[in-house]
Amino acid sequence: MSSDRLMLVHSPEFQAHMERVQRVTDLTSRLNVLPFGDEAGKANLFEQILGKPLPTGTTIYPPFYTDHGLHLDLAERVFINQNCSFLDYAGIRLAEGVWIGPKATFITGGHPVDPAERQLYLTGAPIDVAENVWIGAGATILPGVTIGRDAVIAAGAIVADDVPPATLVTGPKATVRRQW
């Protein structure tokens, strides 16, 4: 898992990053127009996008979007419903048994708030999702968030802070409602 990141926009590192983004955008564009039943075609494209085959029992329903792919770490038995986005610049880890509803968004990158630095740097912090987490439709998980084992993120929640294990979070800015 990557640690917090800061990348100068006008740098060879950023250029390499953008080349990967362009390659993965092409790959996901091809993935998202395959017939749903073309398992071999999907497996081939996912392997190119992720840099390795999908783990055992992991299911992803296209359309599927990621900007880098190589920083998306999926465990076994992960389920990702259709139309989800993973901006994985700083790393996203989904542990075993994570289920994700449609249109969920995971964002690890951003820019400094200071206007003088905003266009100079890409910032990032990893997202870490523990075992058996459920993430509802349309939820947004922001940079640097850790979600504890057995937590449930309600549909439409915006998660900007860490979520303790066995917790239900709801709302436009997710807040703890119940813990068990």
CA–CA distance, 161 with 178 (Å, rounded to integer): 15
Residue 68 designated active-site: no
- Sequential DSSP letters for the chain: ----EEEESSSHHHHHHHHHHHHHHHHHHHHTTS-TT-HHHHHHHHHHHHSSPPPTT-EEPSSEEESSSTTEEE-TT-EE-TTEEEE-TT-EEE-TT-EE-TT-EEE-EE--SSHHHHTTEEEE--EEE-TT-EE-TT-EE-TT-EE-TT-EE-TT-EE-S-B-SSEEEETTTTEEEEE-
Catalytic one of 17, 68, 71, 111? 111
Point out the residues that are catalytic: 111
